[in-house]
Amino acid sequence: MTDQNTDQPTEPGDDEDFTPRRELLRQIDEALDAGDAARLEALLEPMHGADIADIIERLTPAERRKFLELYSIEMDGEILSEIDEAIRDEVIEALPKEVLAEAVREMDSDDVVDLVEDMDEGEREEILSALDDADRMAVEQSLTYPEYSAGRLMQSEVVTAPEHWTVGEAIDFLRAEDWLPEQFYHVILVDPRRHPVGYVALGRLLSAKRSVRLKDITEDSFRTISAYADEGDVAYAFNQYHLISAPVVDNDDRLVGVITIDDAMSVLDEEHEEDILRLAGVGDESAITDSVMETLWQRLPWLMINLVTAVVASLVIAIFEGTIQKIVALAVLMPIVASMGGNAGTQTLTVAVRALATKSLTGSNVWRVVRREAIVGLLNGLAFAVVMGIVAWIWFDGVNLAAVIAIAMVVNLCVAALAGILIPLGLEKAGADPALASGTFVTTVTDVVGFFAFLGLASAVLV
């Protein structure tokens, strides 16, 4: 990648991964250590706000304080809107009031909403007072919609035209306006009551003759989004329909804003982050900038739940203490049955969670997928029953022991497959996030069933 300010040749196989070069980071460290504000400014001058935000995030809290002292007057709306939530308060507090006010004035209304939505009344008022009346009202309007809704995601800066206009009229209008948003991709046609009736891509506007009516060059793919729609569904729609921007309407179907694809892309990214972290039993707010204590508090509750379920599995083992004392080989082999069940269950679970997230697992194919997972579970069970039966037979020279572990393996892998698909489906049906806690549920089931099947059979057959 070459920036317009630089002149680096791009070569195949070049280590271009779009992250700031190590050399630059070293120079920034030096400037920080030397307290050299001018040097720091010069180093950061060619950089994109998003990269500057990343650098701020990677500093230690002490370095960050120093950075903000030296650089605070340069902080603008672009950098501020890119800063991770986890350290945003810290940054805002370090900024002089005038700098913060100026930065907020530069931001689009959706970025201001994102900035203030988690603040308390007092802080929020202070930030919003920097805006002029129209912008403040737009932000306050956005904040009336529920959290994680399209209404919070949209920006209120919209380019509209009456539906009866021609291309020439639209171009003259755009040339005369000086408040146009920085980025826009469509002109939205509205009727006299501000209901959106279609939109025209700027490319078509540019390539049509002045006399063409806007109505005749609207896009086929026109869709409006309710301000109350869930942001995850909005991201899905953008990805599914290759939307670039979409008008947002209120309950009366009146235009209230527009969502652009870059915001939808951020939501998609966040939703993935949540899924992957929740599947692993990590708080979905976790960030690489978190302190030791923040990290500890996110992880402890999940480990505590895991401890309880592990103790439940141990209680199952305890039932068969007598059997284990007689045949100690059971203690050696039992974790294998449990571990295989846990892994097979996690495989199914992950595929199910992912399919639910992408809406590819729905009413119309759910039973077919459950059936497939059950059959795969059975076949996996049979395969590993044979393998593990042979291993146990050779290892402990007992054909009965081999038969016991083989049967337990089939039982546990079938149960694992069913638990892996039915638990996330059940959570989804109950209105919960299928990624949340389902891993713990599934491994609890496979541990308990694994130990019970193996030790129970052993008690019945071998003792």
Our CB check for a second copy shows the closer of 128 and 340 to be 340
CB 62 within 8 A of CB 97: no
Cα distance between residue 105 and residue 99, in whole Å: 10
Our CB check for a second copy shows the closer of 96 and 359 to be 359
CA dihedral 451, 453, 457, 459 (to 10 degrees): 30
CB 255 within 8 A of CB 188: yes
CB of 97 to a second copy, least distance (A): 27
Our CB check for a second copy shows the closer of 73 and 280 to be 280
DSSP line for 392-417: HHHHH--HHHHHHHHHHHHHHHHHHH
CB of 173 to a second copy, least distance (A): 9
CB 463 within 8 A of CB 323: yes
CB of 299 to a second copy, least distance (A): 5
Our CB check for a second copy shows the closer of 121 and 220 to be 220
Our CB check for a second copy shows the closer of 68 and 341 to be 341
CB 36 within 8 A of CB 51: no
- Tell me the two tokens of residue 262: 């870059």
Can you tell me whether residue 248 is helix, strand or coil? strand
CB of 139 to a second copy, least distance (A): 20
CB of 444 to a second copy, least distance (A): 10
CB of 40 to a second copy, least distance (A): 16
Q: Which residues pair with 198 in a beta bridge?
A: 189
CB of 96 to a second copy, least distance (A): 25
Other beta carbons within 10 Å of 125: 12
Our CB check for a second copy shows the closer of 59 and 128 to be 59
Can you tell me whether residue 434 is helix, strand or coil? coil
Our CB check for a second copy shows the closer of 119 and 287 to be 287
Other beta carbons within 10 Å of 26: 10
CB 390 within 8 A of CB 351: no
Burial of 255 (0-12, 13-18, 19+ CB in 10 A): buried
DSSP 178: S
Our CB check for a second copy shows the closer of 97 and 179 to be 179
CB of 322 to a second copy, least distance (A): 8
Other beta carbons within 10 Å of 42: 12
